[in-house]
Amino acid sequence: MEAHTLGRSSTSERVDVDKSGEQMNIVIVGHVDHGKSTVIGRLLADTGSLPDGKLDAVKAFCALNSRPFEYAFLLDALKDEQSQGITIDTARTFFKSSKRHYIVLDAPGHIEFLKNMVTGAARAEAALLVIDAKEGIRENSRRHGYLLSMLGIRQISVLVNKMDLVDYSQEVFNSIREEYTRFLARIDITPKFFIPISAFQGENMIGPSAKIPWYSGHSVLAAVDAFEKEPPKPHQPFRMPVQDVYKFTAMGDDRRIVAGRVESGSIKVGDEVLFLPSNKKSRIKSIEAFNEPIRSEVLSGYTPGFTLTEQVYINRGELMVKASEPQPSVSRLIRANIFWMGRKPLEMGRGYFLKLGTSKIPVRLKRINYLIDASDSLEKRDKANIERHDVADCVLELSRAIAFDAIADMEATGRFVIVDQYEIAGGGIIREALPDDQEDLRSEVAQREEKFERSAIVPEKRMQRLNQRPTLILITGEGSTDRKGVGKAIEEELFEMGRFAYYIGMANLLYSVDADLKDKGQSRAEHLRRLGEVAYLMLEAGLLLVVSARDLDDHDLKALETVIAPYPLLTVCMGGCKLDEGGEEVLYCPSGSQISQVVPQIIAKLQHMGSIFNP
Amino acid sequence: MASSHLDHLENQSIYILREAYANFKNLAMLWSIGKDSTVLLWLARKAFFGHAPITLVHIDTAYKIPAMIAYRDRLALEWKLNMVYGQNTEALREKKTFPDGTATRLQCCGSLKTEALKNTLSGEWPRYRLNLQSGKYEPDINREPYTGVIVGARADEEGSRSKERYFSPRDKNNEWDVGDQPPELWNQFKTDFAPGTHIRVHPLLDWTELNIWEYIERENIPIIDLYFDKGEGKRYRSLGCYPCTAPVESTAKSVPEIVEELKNGKFANIAERSGRAQDKEDGGGLEALRRDGYM
């Protein structure tokens, strides 16, 4: 901690001046033309949240142009004024009740703007869903309801609008309420209130309506005030996706800080923690923050840093959990529900990236279980691809395992997005972990990590000293390729560059650590495990390790990745290769490539991966 | 959930700053010396535990109020910042500016700010880096384009900014396609971008002017004193170039007095940028400027 900084003599002088009061983000959704803008215009006008004279000006303008006044015009008028510097905005509108301040996110009702609707709704804490009493439940009334459910918005009130057009008929209202309640029940949403309103006439907006005597429930304003702020969840298991491990050396700082945002639960100094999927274990030594009083405990919602007692090597993307609490799942296979927003469909066999928490991992669509027709009746359909605006139940296969929770157990670690090339093209929630083929290996690794004796040298310090990040470089390919020649040439090149590298041929292991494995064919998995463990020790020592091994396939690579995690694996594929998908980092060298061509390619790849760098 | 609204804003901004730092190799933060980007700088020091491992870029129009430059360099030396500035030296040399009488206000902004920003970010024009030992600026050897640019824009400032994402793409010409923006959900941001394009990062998007001042008060952030009345009944509410930025009538002499003035006083219903003359020219051309990369 820096004791003295400009303008601040001591951290104990913190003044608590949070006078902003409570604020809540709500989103207004519904089918196009069902009256969302009128609802917002009315709320602004009737709560006195409009700039002085605005309402009269718009009314005067309408009278002058012989147009009937509409509250929706208010939003348009406000838009015009924004460019002149008045602080009310389009996508977000501000109003306040006697209880708190609101930001209203106006979500577009048109299907073309679904990604904007999703962006707006994902930021909201609660939603108002507007249905036209005369038109009844339409396509986007259902789709928006379904998306709200997937986005994790549980607090919803339904406004049955334009009641004046159906003569304030209780029968119409009841029939919409019954039908829509049935629909919401199927997607696990229980709406807080159904309110019959006429936003245009101002009925039931901020107080009871004389025209709707048969309704004695909440007005829109009262319903909005009845939404609850999400309470802290200190009793949920602790989860923190690791954003980074910082080792800043400036100003004599020798702290090594694991940073992230606590998504759930709480943690104290002294607690034992586990990093998944690599299974590294350590203990909280201190909680770090700048310009804050020293803390011994931190709750969800905060973005602290931690120093650890054991200096385990971990990367961004791992999930930090408490060893004593229920553990998340770790797998390469997940069953998920996805909604797709990409221009191109989500296709089987193509490569994408999945981002969950702070991890980003190559992913493929393995199977479509069924498509859900969110716009209609939640019917299940068969289809080969997941097209734009489709919602699907499917199986995803990740190139390596990640740690996550099922959405029913934990929200923040149970949802993800899918990136197609440069764009976020889909969102999804994890229904369950499916067993992959690495469970036994992972539990062996967990046992190893449990007992592993850690060096007192901080891994980042070792990396800074050697100007390299430990990496396994695996040279594989058919029998006829010169894997050994390439492997030795790489080792030599790295050595000449002043790097710390070492080459191992498979024979070095077969007659040493593998000498007891008699049946060479049957024990392939065990050979690989031992290769992985030997490699792991050398990577812990800080080496760039080069290994040549013939004919490895995808399964072998996954096993090696699991054993050496979180150290990276670069696979160099010589000539014909059995790899279908490969690891995360693969370099393909066609048959007949000369060593002198291959070596510079590998060096360039290592630089790109950040495995070798200049001081 | 963080316990207060300011805590919530602070933690969200810190999270965004760290995501930017993890995802962009060539990352810069625009520091205009004003209150918003100074809060942003402070948040970076919080995110990185007292360090500011991001290059700070200031576009020096040469018409900034002189106290701003002195303040910038004082803080840069004290906080050990990676401080860089860029400038449209050609326009200044050829006197193509509003104060020289050969350009309108908007043309002047376009040349001294937008053009200078674009070419400084892309590395096409020289950058000048502060040598922390000597205290002098030297030509920067790094001419790589910045692929991530952190900006202190707030959604409540004016209409065009309210449509921004936290991570907002800019194309090869620095242009912003307001109509076709990426989805942004669950704190997953757009961190992948095509070669030649870059991403603007907006950690302060959800903050209001009042939040900024309340946070300055809570954290005791050393803000430039041009914001305070020094006995003449005038202070700046928004900082810019002296020919185009007028002080407002106000007797607020301290941060708590500014907070009070914003909440209950004369500014409770008046826009912050009302002292900025260029906003009024050309029927409010800020969205056009912004599409072209104006911060």
What pLDDT does residue A176 have?
95
Helices (H), A193-345: 220-225
What pLDDT does residue A5 have?
28
Q: Give the model confidence (pLDDT) of B18-34 as tens digits.
A: 999 999 989 999 998 99
> Measured between alpha carbons, how far is A474 from A247 in angstroms, rounded to an integer?
29
Counts for chain B of helices (H) and strands (E), in that order: 9, 10
Matching residue, tokens 């586990």? A274
User: What is the torsion angle, in degrees rounded to the nearest 10, for the CA atoms of residue A121, residue A122, residue A124 and residue A126?
Assistant: 70
In this complex, do A355 and B22 lie within 8 Å of one another by their Cβ atoms?
Answer: no
Rounded to the nearest 5°, which phi and psi values hold at A257? -115, 125
Q: Which helix (H) or strand (E) holds A157?
A: strand A156-161
Chain A: closest CA distance from residue B85 (Å): 22
What pLDDT does residue A15 have?
36
**Is this model's pTM higher than 0.90 or not?**
no
Query: Rounded mean pLDDT of chain B?
Result: 85
Q: Does B117 touch chain A (CB under 8 A)?
A: no
What percentage of chain B exceeds 70 in pLDDT? Answer: 87
What pLDDT does residue A66 have?
74
- B206 and A125 Cβ atoms separated by less than 8 Å: no
Antiparallel, parallel or unpaired: β A501-505 and A585-589: unpaired
Q: pLDDT under 50 in chain A at which residues?
A: 1-20, 80-90
In this complex, do B222 and A6 lie within 8 Å of one another by their Cβ atoms?
Answer: yes
> Measured between alpha carbons, how far is A161 from A36 in angstroms, rounded to an integer?
9
Q: Give the model confidence (pLDDT) of B245-282 as tens digits.
A: 888 888 999 999 999 888 877 776 666 655 555 554 44
Task: Name the token pair of B11.
Answer: 């933690």
Angle at B275 between CA B242 and CA B253, to 5 degrees: 85
> Measured between alpha carbons, how far is A418 from B120 in angstroms, rounded to an integer?
33
Q: Does B181 touch chain A (CB under 8 A)?
A: yes
- A141 and A182 Cβ atoms separated by less than 8 Å: no
Burial B104-134 (b: 16+ CB within 10 A, else e): ebbbbbbbbbbbbbbbbbbbebebbbbeeee
Residue B1 has pLDDT above 60, yes or no: no
What pLDDT does residue A130 have?
94
Query: Rounded mean pLDDT of chain A?
Result: 85
> Measured between alpha carbons, how far is A373 from B26 in angstroms, rounded to an integer?
43
User: What is the torsion angle, in degrees rounded to the nearest 10, for the CA atoms of residue A549, residue A551, residue A555 and residue A558?
Assistant: 30
Q: Give the model confidence (pLDDT) of B203-216 as tens digits.
A: 998 888 889 999 99
What pLDDT does residue A344 have?
92
DSSP letters, A218-233, are --HHHHHHT--PPPP-
Distances (CA, A) of A430 to A144, A336, A354, A410, B23: 20, 4, 12, 10, 25
Distances (CA, A) of A314 to A159, A244, A308, A318: 49, 9, 12, 7
Closest residue of A to B181, CA-based?
A116
DSSP state of A252: G
- A571 and A474 Cβ atoms separated by less than 8 Å: yes
Write the burial class of residue A325 (CB in 10 Å: 0-12 exposed, 13-18 middle, 19+ buried): middle
Determine the residue among B141, B185, B264 to mutate to test chain A binding: the one whose Cβ has the most chain A Cβ atoms within 10 Å: B185
Burial A520-531 (b: 16+ CB within 10 A, else e): eeeeeeebbbbb
In this complex, do A84 and B6 lie within 8 Å of one another by their Cβ atoms?
Answer: no
Residue B149 has pLDDT above 90, yes or no: yes
What pLDDT does residue A47 have?
83
In this complex, do B219 and A8 lie within 8 Å of one another by their Cβ atoms?
Answer: yes
- Provide, as residue numbers in chain A, all residues whose Cβ is less than 8 Å from the Cβ of B222: 6-8
Determine the residue among A54, A87, A229, A424 to mutate to test chain B binding: the one whose Cβ has the most chain B Cβ atoms within 10 Å: A87
In this complex, do A118 and B185 lie within 8 Å of one another by their Cβ atoms?
Answer: yes
Task: Name the token pair of B115.
Answer: 């053009």
- B125 and B167 Cβ atoms separated by less than 8 Å: no
What pLDDT does residue B111 have?
87
Closest residue of B to A289, CA-based?
B49
Peptide bond between residue B126 and the one before it cis (omega within 30 degrees of 0): no
Rounded to the nearest 5°, which phi and psi values hold at A10? -160, 145
Task: Name the token pair of A562.
Answer: 């699991």
Closest residue of B to A256, CA-based?
B49
Question: Cα dihedral sign for B40, B42, B48, B53?
Answer: positive
Residue whose C-alpha is closest to residue A270's, from A307, A230, A233? A307
Helix (H, G, I), strand (E, B) or coil at A296: coil
Residue whose C-alpha is closest to residue A445's, from A549, A331, A565? A565
Which amino acid is located at A437 in the chain? D
In this complex, do A427 and B192 lie within 8 Å of one another by their Cβ atoms?
Answer: no
Chain B: closest CA distance from residue A167 (Å): 38
Q: Cα B222 from chain centroid?
A: 16
- Provide, as residue numbers in chain B, all residues whose Cβ is less than 8 Å from the Cβ of A85: 158, 271-274, 276, 279, 284
